């Protein structure tokens, strides 16, 4: 959502920015709940599912485990994000949005620091690459949700009068998606080579099969995005009387499609763009779901290196810790 605010929305559209500001509040509330949920689920994993001692074990997890020490940094980052959001409601500007973005980036780093990338230590290359991967995925999928929930509803209501603004916004979305995708693919390749331990793991392990599903979803999203960029966007620009890049025209001719100035009317093109972005958003949800499964599964590379552990220890981000069954 922040990526949509910073890189997609026109700065002079007060109504769109107001709507997106309220959507940001909803996402911050979800992020706050999710942060507590991560703490809850990690504690349940560590204490073996003993709900009777959950609160005691949760305090223990926060004080004696690596996960807890990192998770605590979420609290001030969330406070800063909420304060910046309230500030953005009172005064429109970019400074508070950038403050919020920095706070969210810090929260994303706590996710990378408590996952598989931190198995070999804090602030390693694997951690930073995973952090970039997470930020790029958030910028891509989050901007799609911003367009679906906030921007397109207004553009579709405005009809033909929103042709120019719709074309500009859609072009900015395409540019943002392309940059985020480049970072996402580069970081994803690094992560896969670190975690798979071999190409055969893609079809011989549960982790690899889930990763295959995620890759299929992402490739579908990329195909839809490419069609948006090289077919729908040039048509929208042509209807708005804006210049169309020669590369986009060549892409349309290569695909054997109609010229940008012909074909569907502007309202039809805009609705088609909105549908495509909606489909990408839904696919993004499934990709997030697959990522959640991967976060709670052991990568094949770790399984190959895994040595037998005493029954009194359990893993926490790759580190043996004292069992949380200790009682007062």
- Report if residue 109 sits inside a domain: yes
Q: How far is CA 237 from the centre of its chain?
A: 28
Inside any domain, residue 327: no
- Asked if the structure places residue 328 within a domain, the reply is no
Ramachandran assignment for 287, one of left (phi > 0), alpha (psi -120 to 50 degrees), beta (any other): alpha
In 3D space, the residue among 326, 324, 317 whose CA is nearest the CA of residue 122 turns out to be: 317
Hey, which residues does 11 pair with through a beta bridge? none
How many domains, in total, are found in the chain? 1
Q: Would you say residue 219 lies in a domain? A: yes
How far apart are the C-alpha atoms of 325 and 328, rounded to whole Å?
A: 10
Q: Is 54 exposed, middle or buried (0-12, 13-18, 19+ CB in 10 A)?
A: middle
Range of the domain at 207: 2-322
Task: Return the minimum-mean-pLDDT range out of 83-97, 109-123, 174-188, 247-261.
Answer: 247-261
- Tell which residue, 161, 182, 138, has the closest CA to residue 24: 138
Tell me the pLDDT tens digit for each residue of 203-221: 778 888 888 999 999 999 9
pLDDT tens track for 1-43: 899 888 888 877 788 888 888 899 999 999 999 999 988 888 8
Distances (CA, A) of 271 to 94, 166, 268: 30, 11, 5
Q: What is the pLDDT of residue 74?
A: 92
């Amino acid at each position: 959502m922040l990526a949509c605010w910073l890189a997609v929305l026109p700065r002079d559209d007060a109504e769109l920015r107001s709507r997106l500001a309220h959507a940001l509040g909803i996402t911050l509330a979800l992020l706050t709940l999710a942060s507590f949920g991560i703490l809850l689920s990690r504690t349940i994993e560590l204490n073996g599912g003993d709900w009777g001692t959950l609160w005691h074990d949760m305090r223990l997890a926060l004080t004696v485990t690596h996960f807890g020490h990192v998770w605590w940094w979420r609290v001030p980052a969330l406070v800063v994000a909420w304060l910046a959001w309230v500030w953005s409601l009172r005064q429109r500007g970019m400074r508070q949005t950038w403050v919020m973005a920095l706070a969210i980036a810090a929260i994303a780093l706590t996710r990378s620091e408590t996952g598989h990338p931190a198995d070999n230590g804090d602030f390693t290359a694997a951690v930073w690459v995973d952090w970039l991967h997470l930020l790029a995925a958030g910028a891509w999928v989050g901007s799609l949700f911003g367009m679906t929930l906030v921007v397109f509803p207004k553009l579709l209501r405005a009809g033909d009068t929103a042709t120019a603004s719709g074309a500009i916004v859609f072009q900015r979305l395409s540019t943002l998606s392309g940059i985020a995708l480049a970072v996402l693919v580069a970081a994803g390749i690094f992560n896969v080579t670190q975690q798979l331990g071999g190409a055969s793991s893609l079809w011989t392990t549960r982790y690899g099969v889930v990763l295959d599903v995620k890759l299929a979803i992402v490739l579908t999203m990329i195909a839809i995005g490419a069609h948006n960029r090289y077919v729908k966007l040039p048509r929208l620009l042509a209807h708005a009387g804006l210049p169309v890049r020669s590369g986009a025209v060549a892409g349309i001719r290569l695909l054997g499609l109609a010229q940008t100035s012909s074909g569907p009317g502007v309202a039809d093109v805009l609705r088609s763009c909105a549908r495509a972005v909606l489909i990408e958003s839904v696919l993004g949800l499934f990709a997030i779901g697959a990522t959640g499964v991967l976060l709670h599964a052991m990568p094949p590379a770790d399984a190959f290196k895994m040595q037998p552990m005493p029954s009194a220890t359990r893993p926490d981000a790759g580190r043996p810790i004292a069992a949380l069954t200790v009682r007062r």
